[in-house]
Amino acid sequence: MANTYDRVADLLVERLGVTREELSPEATFEELDLDSLDLVEFSMAARDEFGVQISDDEAEGLKTVGDAVALLDQKGAGVAGA
């Protein structure tokens, strides 16, 4: 099974139109040109892909792709699989 970062990267590319070249764990959502509604889309996609709920408050606290990966892992995305 792919690790959480790879799955998050796929999701950002496929659902939010981010290019792979821009992506790194350190890349911020702002640098990726993703705004608050994109973060809502990200949370909806994460629920579909990982079965994990991210609240709007949690989504607002995310600055980098790495933050999102850490939050999803903390919520059990890595072990639950999909």
Residues labelled catalytic: 35
Residue 76 amino acid letter: G
Buried b (16+ CB within 10 A) or exposed e, 41-63: ebbebbeebbebebeeeebeebe
- Residue 75 C-beta: closest distance to another protein, Å: 18
d(CA 38, CA 23) in angstroms, rounded, equals 16
Give me the 30-59 binding string for another protein, x by CB under 8 A, dash otherwise. Answer: -----xxx--xx-xx-----------x---
- Residue 56 C-beta: closest distance to another protein, Å: 5
Which parts of this chain interact with another protein (CB under 8 A)?
35-37, 40-41, 43-44, 56
